[in-house]
Structure 1
């Protein structure tokens, strides 16, 4: 086997492994984003953006963080 053929085989294997690793990483990033959005949408309402920040333990909003 020539050096050129060996180099092409190693290149193809490395390219395949890096593509697989990229696909796995993107899958997990997508799963995290999906979980974040699906669970976060339930907590969004107008009061979150229009109520003042409460003391610890009370319910309130994020108005102080916006202004």
Structure 2
């Protein structure tokens, strides 16, 4: 998930099998210069996206 936030513009969360798209998140990390995985992890909004996506993945489906 860290890599998805670091290098993507969008992240899709899938449901259990058969997989359907549960949600799509636009990743908007505002930063100066070239976007690299190491630089994006230091952007303040990175943690916000990490928390949102982790909560999505941590939900237990019946």
TM value normalised by structure 2: 0.30
Determine which structure has the larger helix proportion and give its number. Answer: 1
Q: Which has the higher contact order (CA 8 A, sep 6+)?
A: 2
Q: Which has the larger radius of gyration?
A: 1
